[in-house]
Structure 1
Amino acid sequence: MNILNHFLRKIPIWLVYFVGLTPPLWLLYQGFTGGLGVEPIKALEHELGELGLQALILGLAVTPLRRFAGLNLMRFRRAIGVLTFYYIACHLLVWLVLDVQILAQIWADILKRPYITIGMVGFVLLAPLAVTSNNWSVRKLGARWRKLHKLVYPAAVLGAVHFVMLVKGWQVEPLIYLGVILGLLALRLTPRRTLARA
């Protein structure tokens, strides 16, 4: 694990951002060129939303991976968080601009469809985290910065619940996402002394 951590320390942060920025662009290209099937907008929406959930899970896994596996991804955590917001914002933009398009209908859907309401609340919780993911905010907010960034916990749960409610019937994949997120939160919220005895 020390060898892997040594290798990870050599990876520049800009490369993580560069690689992380490309999946939505690739998916958009596939949508325009017929690579996303007969309903490219719905497929694009789904793929971006799932990408956002996967990035959320990776961000939540950083601390448990360090505690239990010795894998240190801490220097990438901010980049993971910013990219998570980027993916979810792209997911939202596809729904707003390419799918619904009508402003009155957008507002009606947010109010009347619980899965959309829950998804929007999760996005709103993530927004201040993205805005404050910089050194200036860390210095300015001090101890409050850590408290603010704990909003990622309910946001992640809401994102998974949004996925569960979105699909028709009880499908396994959304439930796996929800279970993994709840499991990671349970690991993070377990007192350190209890973890040390386990």
Structure 2
Amino acid sequence: MDRVNALLRRLPVGAVYLAGVLPFVWTFGRGLTGGLGVDPVKALEQALGLYALQFLVAVLAVTPLRRHLGLNLLRFRRALGVLAFLYMALHLLVWVTLDLQFRWAEIGADLVKRPHIVVGMAAFLLALPLALTSNDAALRRLGGLAWRRLHRLTYVVLPLGAIHFVMLSKTWALEPLAYLAAAILLLVLRLNPRRAAA
């Protein structure tokens, strides 16, 4: 693991951002070439939401991986968090612009009658202050303790995203449940490492 960590220390953080936007480029390109099926807008929207959830899982996995396996990805955690929010924002943007085409009355009605949208919107709103403070200037302005307390909202955003995915599926499909199980496991490992290790 020391050799892997040494290699990771040489990897620039910018490479993580670059690799992180490739799923969007690939998926959007598939949409332009007809590779997203009969409903490309819905497929793009769902893919972006799934990428957001995957990056959220990656963010919360950083500490357990370091603690239990010795893999040190700490310097990439901020980039992973920013990418998670980017995909959340793109997921929301596609829903508002391409799916519902700025039909605000319909958007408002969906927020009232579709609980999974309310849960997803709550996750996005909680992630917004995290994205806005994911920089050194915000860390200095807030102070380390307040900044860390604020960023504990990640522990709420991930399970909300997983619940949103489960509710969206409308069935007990394996994939959404797997993400929910991963979210719960990561919270246990992150918040109560001694019990998880017992």
The answer to whether the aligner puts 1:9 opposite 2:26 as a matched pair is no
Flag as ranges the 4+ runs of structure 1 deviating above 4 A: none
TM-score by length of 1: 0.95
CA displacement at 1:32 relative to structure 2: 1.6
Matches within 5 A, 1:49-60: 49-60=49-60
Matched-pair contact (CA < 8 Å) for 1:160–1:177? yes
CA displacement at 1:6 relative to structure 2: 0.3
Aligned length: 196
Matched-pair contact (CA < 8 Å) for 1:96–1:106? yes
Partner of 1:185: 187
RMSD of Structure 2 on Structure 1 (CA):
1.3
Matched-pair contact (CA < 8 Å) for 2:62–2:73? yes
Matched-pair contact (CA < 8 Å) for 2:31–2:40? yes
1:28-47 C-alpha deviation (Å, 9 max, x unpaired): 12112101111111111111
Identity of aligned residues (%): 55
Q: In the alignment, residue 92 of structure 2 is paired with which amino acid?
A: L
Partner of 1:136: 137
Matches within 5 A, 1:79-118: 79-101=79-101, 102-118=103-119
In 2: Cα distance, 1:2 partner to 1:190 partner: 26
- Cα pair distance change 1:137/1:32, threshold 3 Å: same
Q: Work out which of the residue numbers 154, 157, 166 in structure 1 matches 2:156.
A: 154
In 1: Cα distance, 2:108 partner to 2:62 partner: 36
**Structure 2: 5+ residue stretches without partners:** none
**Structure 1: 5+ residue stretches without partners:** none
TM-score by length of 2: 0.95
In 2: Cα distance, 1:196 partner to 1:171 partner: 26
In 2: Cα distance, 1:22 partner to 1:174 partner: 23
Partner of 2:123: 122
In 1: Cα distance, 2:19 partner to 2:111 partner: 32
